[in-house]
Chains A and B, each alone.
Chain A
Amino acid sequence: MTRRTPFLLRASPDLLTGLRLALAPVLYLLIVGGRGDAAAACLALAMVTDALDGPLARHFGVASRAGAHFDFWADFVLIEAVFSAFAMSGAGPWAIPLLTAIAFGFFVATVRLTPAIYDPIGRNIGGILMGSAFSVLALRDLLVAQAAFMVALGALTLTLCARAAFVAGAVRRSAP
């Protein structure tokens, strides 16, 4: 006879993802308000939830397509909030939230065309962007911040180009 996993444990991946989503507006306000230390702590917490929700879902056998979508959108909202706050502060470029929206939108639109491509940047783009933002908030040096923004812009550009190339290849292969 097997014991059923308690509801709270089964729900923990979604709760962690929900917590990350709830942290997005908090992070926006903290960054625009100049509370870099509190924002770094909040972002670190969000990154921990991002690292844990997937493994927990698999561990408790509750991994699902809906959960993966929830995780994807929570990452998107969090990253948009953080980089929009940097841009609102006049410290970061608007190009990052703009390119993030384009990249995530492009991914959603083309995911059925390219389900199994290997793109180390694209697969980790959320982590790369969150890591860049965390280095800005934790180190709080304007030169480091600019380097982090360049890394974020470069990663977004590379992953968009890679995905566009894969999509073009998939479309060409499927053409009669």
Chain B
Amino acid sequence: MVRLMRRILAAVVIVLVAAGVALAWLNWRVHQETVTPLETLNSGGTAGRVLAVLSPGLSSFPADVMTAFDKGLAEKGWRVDHTTASSEATTDIGAYDLIVLAAPVYFSRAAPPLQDYVGRVGDFGGKQIAVLVTAGGDPAEAVAATKALIAAHNGTLAWIYGYAVYEPNDPDGKYEGSNTERAVRMAHDAALALAGTLP
């Protein structure tokens, strides 16, 4: 019995130390910016001009959702300039009709690089902003916090939605595929719908 307890204790200590080290490293990692050049989707688009800024995070889910959203806008004739949230991403937003922001949620807040980017822009001057956040569980708290962040920087929220990995995204069963595949399809259709409502 004592030997069994010692074995379990050894495993628990190893796991806790490993989890602590992993969390500390990941916390540092999520604060790091990813620098990518500005890429343009549908460069001949005339319906409007979009700046899409993504904080990619630690999995492919945020990028998948944002890419689907960008494609939806491009299909409606918009020109989409896509980049990642970093100190090298443009903050000159004067030429854009819509700003799309996307980020994963960690501890109920959008990823720090996206919050830092919003801070660097400072004043959105009433521009239309669409936000996509991806969370593990219920994204409601992160959505509320991001709404407040946009309002504090003088942005006009055109649309915001939180997609989840471990909560059903499509409770009505309108889409097919896994929960995250449904989220990607929903983001695409949301962009199509939004493109039709913007001036």
Contact = CB atoms under 8 A, between A and B. Distances in A.
Given A143-B27, A146-B58, A147-B26, A39 B166 contact: yes
Nearest to A34: B179
Contacts of B60: 90
Contacts of A147: 19, 22-23, 26
A176 to B, nearest CB: 35
B169 A34 contact: yes
Interface string A118-160: 0011011001100100001101111111111011001100000
B14 A121 contact: yes
A121 B7 CA distance: 9
Interface stretch (B71-79, B92-100, B102-110, B186-194): B102-110
Chain A interface, DSSP helix/strand/loop, else mixed: helix
A142 B106 contact: yes
Interface centre among B107, B169, B179, B180 (most CB of A within 10 A): B179
A147 B61 CA distance: 17
B198 interface: no
A34 B19 contact: no
Interface in B49-82: 57-61, 64
A36 B166 contact: yes
A90 B59 contact: yes
B57 A88 contact: no
Query: Which size class do A's interface residues fall under?
Result: 35 or more
A19 interface: no
Contacts of A131: 15
A127 B137 contact: no
B8 A141 contact: no
Interface in B6-27: 7-8, 10-11, 14-15, 18-19, 22-23, 25-27
A18 B60 CA distance: 35
Contact of A140 (B27, B59, B167, B180): B167
A124 B59 CA distance: 28
Interface centre among B61, B166, B178 (most CB of A within 10 A): B166
A2 B105 CA distance: 62
B168 interface: yes
B14 A120 contact: yes
A35 B107 CA distance: 20
Contact of A142 (B8, B27, B58): B58
A161 interface: no
A143 B29 CA distance: 10
A155 B18 contact: yes
B179 A142 contact: no
A150 B23 CA distance: 9
B30 interface: yes
Given A139-B137, A145-B136, 18 more contacts: A32-B178, A33-B179, A35-B168, A36-B166, A89-B165, A90-B165, A91-B165, A120-B7, A121-B11, A123-B11, A128-B11, A136-B136, A142-B165, A145-B165, A147-B19, A147-B23, A148-B19, A155-B14
12 contacts: A35-B166, A89-B61, A90-B64, A90-B165, A91-B166, A141-B135, A145-B136, A150-B18, A150-B22, A150-B25, A151-B18, A151-B19
Complex A-B, nearest 3 residue pairs according to Cβ-Cβ distance, in ascending order: A36-B166, A34-B179, A140-B137
